[in-house]
Amino acid sequence: MNRRCIGVELKPELAEHVAEKFSPKELVTDVNIISADSTSQIAKEKIQARLEIMGEEKAQFLVLHPPYDDIIKFSDKKEDLSNCSSPEEFYDMFEKVAQNGYDLLEDGRYAALIIGDEYKDGECKLLSFGCEQRMEKLGFKLKAVIVKDIQGNERAKGKTANLWRYRALNGGFYIFQHEYIFIFQKPEKKVKKLKKVLKNAKLIA
């Protein structure tokens, strides 16, 4: 889509694998892949440095697609959000990532959070809404909730629909076929908002 982006991934080998999908030119001009811990200050500083090289002060859009707690374990690293010892620790680490994102996003701009729920120990745990609430706590305003149909995703991962059906029935769950995309806005500063209103009023007049 001809957009410039900065991506952050904890696992260096995965970051390298993604980088291989782009041409050397794109990796200089448009696509920046950083291998770092998204909860950290150093990741924030690396993103800030990349933004500066791109001639920008802040990001125009933020996409968060964290692990869904420990449903899929990505690594044994202690910084890995899929390696937390409790849901509370997961939420706290997620909040640090979201805080970094909030600080790096321009006022008035939008953020998307892609996340599903956890079906574990015979219970449906609303991981998605837990993370959504942490984002509101930081100041993000919820603008939309998109229910994403994930039927077919499991096949792409080499699993069959029957396996999911078996798991759901085995755990006493309804077969789930969705995850969420939450859309947020970082509030605009009052002065900036007023300037915009005045500009629009001038245009109308």
Ligand X SMILES: C[S@@+](CC[C@H](N)C(=O)[O-])C[C@H]1O[C@@H](n2cnc3c(N)ncnc32)[C@H](O)[C@@H]1O
Report, in Å, the least distance between residue 7 CB and ligand X.
7
39 is an interface residue for ligand X by CB under 6 A? yes
When asked if residue 128 is in the footprint of ligand X (CB under 6 A), the reply is no
Shortest Cβ distance from residue 106 to ligand X (Å)? 21
175: Cβ contacts below 8 Å, ≥ 6 apart: 164, 165, 168, 169
DSSP string, 138-162: HTPEEEEEEEEE-TTHHHHTT--HH
Give CA–CA dist 155/131, Å, rounded: 27
Under the binding rule (CB under 6 A), the answer on residue 8 touching ligand X is yes
| Distance in Å from the first CA to the final CA of the chain | 36
Pick from 4, 5, 14, 58 the residue near ligand X by CB under 6 A. 14
Question: Are the C-beta atoms of residues 184 and 140 closer than 8 Å to each other?
Answer: yes
- For residue 80, what is the enclosing H or E element? none
Considering only 31, 32, 38, 180, the residue that binds ligand X (CB under 6 A) is 38
The reply on whether position 64 binds ligand X by CB under 6 A is no
Q: Looking at beta carbons only, is 72 or 204 nearer to ligand X?
A: 72
- In the list 32, 37, 104, 134, the residue contacting ligand X (rule: CB under 6 A) is 37
- Strands 105-115 vs 178-185: parallel, antiparallel or unpaired: antiparallel
The CA distance from 161 to 150, in Å, is 11
- CB atoms < 10 A from the CB of 105, how many? 20
Region near ligand X per CB under 6 A, out of 36-44, 105-113, 147-155, 165-173? 36-44
Q: Which of 6, 47, 59, 67 binds ligand X (CB under 6 A)?
A: 67
Asked whether the beta carbons of 9 and 65 are under 8 A apart, the reply is: no
Q: Which is nearer to ligand X, 27 or 108 (CB)?
A: 27
Q: Are 69 and 42 in contact (CB under 8 A)?
A: no
Token code pair at residue 60: 């125009």
User: Pick from 17, 65, 195, 199: which binds ligand X (CB under 6 A)?
Assistant: 65
Task: Spell out, one character per residue from 79 to 118, where the chain touches ligand X: x when CB under 6 A holds, - when not.
Answer: xxxx------------------------------------
Tell the smallest beta-carbon distance from residue 196 to ligand X (Å).
Answer: 32
Residue ranges binding ligand X (CB under 6 A): 8-11, 14, 37-39, 65-67, 74, 79-82
